[in-house]
Structure 1
Amino acid sequence: MSRTARWRLGLGASAFLLATAVVPAPAHAAGPAAVADYAITVDPTARGAALDKTMYGVFFEDINRAADGGLYAELVQNRSFEYSTDDNRSYTPLTAWTVDGTAQVTDDSGRLNDRNRHYLSLGAASSVTNAGYNTGIAVEEGKKYDFSVWARADAGTALTVTLHDFGGTLATARRIAVRKSGWAQYKAAFTATRTSTTGRLTVTSSAAAALDMVSLFPRDTYKHEPNGLRKDLAEKVAALHPGFVRFPGGCLVNTGSMQDYSEDSGWQRKRSYQWKDTVGPVEQRATNANFWGYNQSYGLGYYEYFRFAEDIGAMPLPVVPALVTGCGQNQAVADEALLQRHIQDTLDLVEFANGPVTSRWGKLRAEMGHPRPFHLTHIEVGNEENLPKEFFARFTRFRAALQAKYPYLTVISNSGPDDSGTTFDTAWQLNRDARVDMVDEHYYNSPQWFLQNNDRYDSYDRGGPKVFLGEYASQGNTFTNGLAEAAYMTGLERNADVVKLASYAPLFANEDYVQWRPDMVWFNNHASWGSANYEVQKLFMTNVGDRVVPSTATTTPSVSGPITGAVGLSTWATSAAYDDVQVTAADGTTLLSDDFSSGAARWTHTGTGSWSVQDGAYVQTDTAAENTMVSAGDPAWHDYDLHVKATKKAGKEGFLVAFGVKDTGNYYWWNLGGWNNTQSAVEQAVDGGKSTLIAKPGSIETGRAYDIDIKVRGRQVTLFLDGTEWGRFTDDKPAEPFRQVVTRDAATGELILKVVNAQATAARTAVDLGGARVAGTAKATVLAAAPDAENTETATPVAPVTSTVTGIADRFTHTFPAHSITFLRIAPRRS
């Protein structure tokens, strides 16, 4: 996942009413009870694409506290006193701890081990208390919890360990005698006497003692695995029946230093995620700075990922760094020895997963509790690199080494962080020329984009590399988003001969530690709930089928006029000055002329930032503010030319010049020098969710005045930079709200008719099964809700409803509700 992509995300589309905002209802429909007529024709004798059992999976990245404080069941935060300002500027080694008495975090030769560098020196008759995550440590009455600590003392010392909250004790206290023989691990068990979500763990020492790795785990982890996973979160993933698990990232993979541990400099806290750092005894694993702004303990490491994939019957799909950083960093590491070391590390990873117990890394796997191999068949090298040539030069080295030693491996490449643009095109050409097995695509776009691009893979080369859609989402957790994603997924299935793997992203979000939204599963310290998107993914994952049955459907009439809207100016983490704004109609009439000599009264400030007129220009001075939009003009304007002179004064990026501005969530803008001043693009916002329409590499110079011209004619837009045409596009693709696909379940013989009706009009549909002999009833599973419905901890308005539908025949009529996703499982006639 790309941090730069996050900068462009809208936070939802709750007001996105598809039938009115995107595709009008047919002319004969009137009112909310209106019905539109459609037809679906199925050819049961034709053979469509085969659907692999692994087609749909999940992508896990440690973002939004998805690991520590999330899927990893450890209840103690900062258990090894390793938090640092390198992780987060607010952190100290005692973050999440409070001390009563005397205590000091120490880093010296007395440490537990070389990777676990800090420990707590606790004074006599002193105590230390941990606050856990969210509101505290959550415990449930009658459940067991396992405590452990590494400790040493110079004299006889007793530790008293208590679980409590503001209302009193939560379990009977435990007393532990610490021996005078150096570091050792001590354990105790608690049974909660009542339920609490605000618990605290306190360790009190009778005499001076050193403590490290203070831990509390629920006994009831998923599958009762030691060092295990939080049961409710793991069960939600298991309920999807995913075909694969992609891990550990995302931006964790290709960010940070790629260097080795150094005896001179010690552990590098901003080191990239490398698998060897995450295996072996937990107390010997280092902690590290997390790219998303917190600490990661590596308690949930590669062994645990492999084990989890096996437990839920999914294919493991690890991602390793290719020595080209991404996610806004965009640097290629030029160190041959380091490259060779990372290639060898990747070969060693395959040995760890699949090697015999007599091999070095297979032996470690066995020592950790799993002598059997994990059957690794796919591995991905790199993630969203924005330097496609530099990345590919390194990728080919990895691929050659991996396939020479393990020829059965599918080695996956990628196409950068966007669905189109120069990086995407260059990466795909390199992948095609080298006959790469599979290419990972990532994109986060508006619901409208997903409705418009159901046919994206129809034109892909059937003989070229296969597609792994490793990260996608429609920028929101409302049912509108789920509808758009479901409509798009019918196109993924129709093209299953090209799209071999697909996973929504991200998977988890702790509601109190959010760096990215939307997310599939939300949680706090005691509860979890699936989003509308989760319910969509679950419906598709548990009803895949084995082969597509070719079918066609009528479409929805659409009406489109010219691009209309006012104009706007904005910045993103940048100070810029704008001047000489001219808007001229196609007939030459001046619509707006402003040199700011008389102030900026014509402009409305709808964003953040600080705007003022300075030296005859309109200047935004806040270099931290994001989307500082000011707008002027009439939302009904169309067919016009916009001219503006822009100068960057300071900051990270360039200019944002908007047109077609209807309101704060609906507009186009030309983003010049975006993505950390590395790219320029035209983006379209629909109810806050953005999609990229055209993109190219490019940067903006500080202090230089640029002439920016935008010509809008009908649905076509042409853009000029300093008098030279930069690009053009036509935004005329309809957003189709009625989509369908049919698959067959080989085991049952059932036809699975999957219909998405993403409009406010019911769809009365004539279904022709092409002579298929079918039973008279079908099992229906329906997701239907208001477009802005959103699942929460306390309410689940988006949930599947199952029923039996009668009147099924070779030809039948069925009405699919407005704003609905319907799966009909139609059994063959038994005669």
Structure 2
Amino acid sequence: MNKRLLIIFFIIFLVMPFILEGNDETTDVLEIDLSKKGIEISPNLYGIFFEDINYAGDGGLYAELIQNRSFEFPDPMYSWSINVMGKDKAGYVIEKKDPVSTKNPNYLRIVISSLDKGVLLSNQGYQGISLKKGEYYIVTLYARSPDGSIKNINFEVSNRKGNVAFKDFISDIDRKWKKFEKVIMCNQDIDDGRFVILIKEKGTVDLDFISLFPQNTWKERKNGLRFDLVKWLYDLKPSFMRFPGGCLVQGRNMNEAYRWKFTIGDPLERPTIPNFWGYYQSLGLGFYEYFLLCEDLGAEPIPVINCGMSFQGGSYTDMVPLDKLDEYIQDALDLIEFANGSVDTKWGSIRAKLGHPEPFNLKYIEIGNEQWGPEYYVRYEKFYDAIKKKYPYIKVIFGVGPSPSGKIFDDGWNWVKKTGKADLVDEHYYMSPEWFLNNVDRYSTYDRKGPKVYVGEYAAHGVGRRNNLEAALSEAAYLLNIEKYSDIVSMISYAPLFGKEGASQWQPNLIWFNNRSSYATPSYYVLKILNENKGKYVLPFKLLTLKDKADEVISGMIGLGSWQTSVEYKDLRVISNITGEVLYKDNFIDTLKNWTIARGIWTIKNGVFSQSTLSENCFALTGDVNWSNYTIQVKARKISGREGFLIMFGVKNSDNFYWWNIGGWGNSYTAIEKAVGGIKSIIGNSANVRVEENRWYDIKIEVNGNRIRCYLDGVLIHDVEDRVVRQDIYSNVTEDENGDILIKVVNISNKNKRFSIVIKGLENLRLEEEARVITLTSDSLKDENSFIAPNKISPQYTNISGVDKNFVYVFPRYSLTVLRLKKR
């Protein structure tokens, strides 16, 4: 047999198994090397972040079913109503004299001067009250009758159709405040119920702190947490929990800032405070309950405390003067003592009296949330120095603002690098799925000797902000690469954690709930799968896939625009970088016929193209969507307003484009932004460039392939390469403490992907022929879970056989897959 024939037989031998497996077009290769170990994966990598947003606390995780139980809302009767049943003559008033609690001084006084059928006081809870047949509920209230006239009242939970879940009464009401408590079994399911108190006696009665709790809370604790919502967290097995915010910590002013000392002790003594997100908090869910929950979950607590600054995203930021900051710093020191101090310390003894003499072993604390600028730096530094002096073992976390790039972000990192005063740096990003896919190597340029990164808040925000499979898979692709850099990124947590149906201020969310049920999103299952299959070490591997480099070209129309700024443009030219041909030229002498006006007031006069309104997002488009490899040249002048110029390129439509934002963000800095599905994100670095009024600037943008170079007055400002065509396959391979090999692959394409998996370095060991497979997939990237179909997208567990040092596996389209291979 000649040499050529041998080669042909060898090729057939290699290719035949692939042919027999199916008819996918190509076979990619994943080659794994077991002879080496890469970085050790952070054991605390995957955690959770809880904030009382979307009624996640009161009305959600905190199991209290009565809203405004102490009549302390600005409208004291919010969620309450009083009705007479017959010809009764009755009135009510909110009183403060001689209250049950001076921290919650309001109480309700009802006076019945003429009795017929009685008076009803009802509370609708949080969008209705939901009770379950056969379960027990605890009714608690404080009552007195100042004149001794009223001795008894009845209560029940019923719906508008008259169906009664339970009913009972209290008696022996006295002239002095008395606490009443009853445990009652529910007789039937109620979903739209209300708690009703019926008074059938003439006279005066005072009522306060009216409470309805399920007995079946998590671990059946009084003042406890909703069981099903905690169960989702418990099943996730998070390594840490960050709390209580978020913007909640900041408050809209310092009077509304979250202070942990208000949240411990008897719930009766915890004041009702405004919630940043537009409702009110009873603080029944406080720091002691948070620490207990972390302990239950086996999660490290990461409390976030106010740094002496309110929310910075509005028109005004309230700040504590530096000479009065010591009170807030002492709060931080006292919190650490509350968590870790012995029972002989002041705050350790308070913890012990609450029922937990053992310390909570706090190791982390974060100072401020999404704060920035010199005012933050000087305040943070004072906290840092004080904490490190007294508790050097506590790891202190510094924040770099609300975005993953830009001047605020860069300045924050520069401050940390200069001072070295941070153990971890908290980065936040709510970005498009494409941003996550295009930034999988984000941390490849970070200094491995610098401060560790904690990604405290992240989520993929696609069109409509849906919790769909596309968002989840883009997050999965990103997280697989986070694992490769987990010697830099030590922790990461999705946000927000909970969203309530019909009462949410933010979406997407990790877990959705209503008054009766709850379900997990695909993003939840991504975290669960990866946390359960994290591994201990990253293994070296090579991924050989076929992709079309020619497609990695920025193409599209061009545009001119402004944001809250009046601008002028002239002398526009678009030149081909390939041929030198002028693709488009406009001296703005004729008409606007070549331009599509998206927004703004645009006019042409004397060779100048003007946009005169100070509205946001004003732009006009021209050109061909097939243009690529071109240079834009234009002159621009700012007339008035807050910002500078928007020069658009690679424009597909009004939701998908690039623009050079010159003098953006209140004329504070300059950056290239990319919009995908209407969601913009910065690519590359920002630059400290401001725009002056009444000065003409020469602007040039060169687009070559996927490389963007931006010049202002002949000076190169940005030089960026952007990934235009996303990968189809994202992967990581790890090994756990038992020696299991974990092959993790995201296939976000619309085709099944066949892989030849080659494992080297086994030496004399062999693999078990059967392997465990975990798959998360669905028919469409737009698919999502719901209350009607809560498990539409959930992990599927199967086994495969025929595993060896070389085997073929087909990864389904639109999927996250984990192959767990065991050594013999």
TM more than 0.5 = yes
Counterpart in the other structure of 2:161: 167
Moved more, 658-667 or 60-69: 658-667
Counterpart in the other structure of 2:80: 97
3-state secondary structure, aligned to 1:458? helix
Q: 2:251, 2:275 within 8 Å by CA — same for their partners in 1? A: no
- Any idea what the Cα deviations from partners look like across 1:49-84, whole Å, max 9, x if unmatched? 223432210011112221111111111222222333
Long gaps (5+) in structure 1: 1-27, 85-91, 259-267
Structure 1: distance between partners of 2:585 and 2:154: 75
Structural mapping, 1:380-395, within 5 Å: 380-387=366-373, 389-395=374-380
Aligned partner of 2:721 in structure 1 is 730
In the other structure, the counterpart of 1:564 is 555
Aligned to 1:72: 62
Which structure 2 residues correspond to residues 620-631 of structure 1 after superposition, within 5 A?
620=613, 631=621
Q: Where in structure 2 are the equivalents of 1:66-215 lying within 5 Å?
A: 66-84=56-74, 92-101=75-84, 104=92, 106=94, 108-124=96-112, 125-134=118-127, 136-155=128-147, 156-157=149-150, 158-177=152-171, 179-205=173-199, 206=201, 207-215=203-211
Is 1:584 matched with 2:573? yes
Task: Give distance in 2, aligned partners of 1:231 and 1:212.
Answer: 26
Residue 677 to residue 525, structure 1, CA distance change in 2 (3 Å): farther
Q: CA–CA distance in 2 between the matches of 1:763 and 1:802?
A: 19
Name 2:8's counterpart in structure 1. none
Q: 1:87 maps to which residue?
A: none
State the partner residue of 1:89: none
Give the Cα–Cα distance (whole angstroms) in 2 for the partners of residues 60 and 813 of structure 1: 42
Distance 1:238 1:631, change over 3 A: farther
Out of 406, 413, 419, the position equivalent to 2:404 is 419
Which secondary structure does the structure 1 equivalent of 2:138 belong to? Answer: strand
CA contact (8 A) 2:33 2:760 kept: yes
Structure 1 residue 781 corresponds to structure 2 residue 771? no
What TM-score, normalized by structure 2, do the two folds share?
0.86
CA contact (8 A) 2:562 2:611 kept: no
Residue 528 of structure 2: aligned partner: 538
Partner of residue 461, structure 1: 447
Q: Which structure 2 residues correspond to residues 42-61 of structure 1 after superposition, within 5 A?
A: 42-61=32-51
Instruction: Judge which range, 394-403 or 521-530, deviates more.
Output: 394-403
The whole-number CA distance in structure 2 between the counterparts of 1:430 and 1:147 is 53
State the one-letter code of the partner of 2:79. Answer: A
Confirm or deny that 1:322 pairs with 2:322: no
Give, in angstroms, the shift of residue 385 of structure 1.
Answer: 1.8
SS at match of 2:30: strand
- Equivalent position amino acid for 2:812 in 1: P
Q: CA deviation at 1:826?
A: 0.8
Measure the CA separation in 1 of the matches of 2:593 and 2:206: 64
Counterpart of 2:218 (choices 214, 218, 222) is 222
Aligned partner (choices 361, 370, 377) of residue 347 of structure 2: 361
The answer to whether structure 1 residue 552 and structure 2 residue 542 are counterparts is yes
Shift of 1:671: 4.4
Instruction: Choose from 733, 740, 745 the match for 1:750.
Output: 740
Q: 2:443 aligns to what SS in structure 1?
A: coil
Q: Distance in 2 between matches of 1:332 and 1:176?
A: 47
Distance in 2 between residues matched to 1:293 and 1:818, nearest whole Å: 42
Q: Secondary structure at 2:166's aligned position in 1?
A: coil
Give the equivalent residue in structure 2 for 1:812.
807
TM-score of the aligned structures, taking structure 1 as reference length? 0.85
> Post-superposition shift, 1:509?
1.0
- 1:152–1:209 CA contact under 8 A, matched in 2: yes
Conserved 8 A contact 2:43-2:239: yes
- The corresponding residue for 1:16 is none
* AA partner of residue 769 (structure 1): I
CA contact (8 A) 2:307 2:380 kept: yes
Aligned pair partner of 2:248 in 231, 249, 252: 252
169 and 653 in structure 1: CA distance in 2 versus 1, 3 angstrom threshold? farther
The Cα of 1:614 is off from its aligned counterpart by 12
Deviations 1:787-821 (A, max 9, x none): 11111111233211111111111222211112211
Q: Does the CA-based 8 Å contact 1:325-1:332 persist in structure 2?
A: yes
- Cα deviation for residue 236 of structure 1 reads 0.8
- Give the Å deviation of 1:723: 8.5
Amino acid at match of 1:160: N
Provide closer, same or farther for how the CA distance between residues 672 and 141 of structure 1 changes in structure 2, counting only shifts above 3 A. farther
- Provide the C-alpha distance between the structure 1 equivalents of 2:691 and 2:264, rounded to a whole number of angstroms: 44
1:761 Cα offset (Å): 2.5
Q: Distance in 1 between matches of 2:155 and 2:377?
A: 54
Uncovered stretches (5+) of structure 2, i.e. residues with no partner: 1-17, 85-89, 113-117
Alpha-carbon separation, structure 2, partners of 1:637 and 1:734: 16
Is the CA contact (8 Å cut-off) linking 2:741 and 2:820 kept in structure 1?
Answer: yes
C-alpha RMSD over aligned residues: 3.2
SS at 1:374's partner residue? coil
- Which residue number corresponds to residue 785 of structure 2? 791
Q: 1:344 maps to what in 2? A: 330
What is the DSSP-based 3-state SS (H/G/I as helix, E as strand, rest coil) of the residue aligned with 1:70? coil
**Which residue does the alignment assign to 2:796?**
801
How far the C-alpha of 1:568 sits from its partner, in A, is 4.8
Report sequence identity in percent: 35
- Mapped partners of 2:340, 2:287: distance in 1: 13
In 2, the alpha carbon distance for the partners of 1:672 and 1:108 equals 57
User: How far does the alpha carbon of each residue in 1:238-269 deviate from its partner, in whole angstroms, 9 at most, with x for none?
Assistant: 111000000111112234334xxxxxxxxx4x
Map of 1:481 onto structure 2: 471
- Equivalents in 1 of 2:589, 2:188: separation in Å? 67
Report how many residues are paired. Answer: 769
For residues 356 and 548 of structure 1, the distance between their equivalents in structure 2, rounded to whole angstroms, comes to: 40
2:397 is the alignment partner of 1:409:
no
Q: CA deviation at 1:46?
A: 1.3
- Taking a change above 3 Å as real, the CA distance of residues 363 and 569 of structure 1, as seen in their structure-2 partners, is farther
The 3 A distance-change label for structure 1 pair 676 and 63 is: farther
Change (3 A) 1:613 1:299: farther
Matching residue of 1:449: 435
SS at match of 2:208: strand
Q: Do 2:372 and 2:412's aligned partners in 1 also have CA atoms closer than 8 Å?
A: no
CA distance in 2, matches of 1:481, 1:147: 42
Q: Which residue of 2 aligns with 1:11?
A: none
Q: Deviations over 1:468-518 (max 9, x none)?
A: 121112214221121111111111111222221111122111121222222
Aligned residue type for 1:293: G
From the superposition, tell whether residues 642 and 548 of structure 1 become closer, same or farther in structure 2 (CA, over 3 Å): same
Residue in structure 2 matched with residue 739 of structure 1 by the alignment: 730
Three-state SS of the structure 1 residue aligned to 2:289 is helix
Bigger shift: residues 142-151 or 183-192? 183-192
Give the Cα separation in 2 of the matches to 1:151 and 1:393: 50
Q: CA deviation at 1:95?
A: 2.6
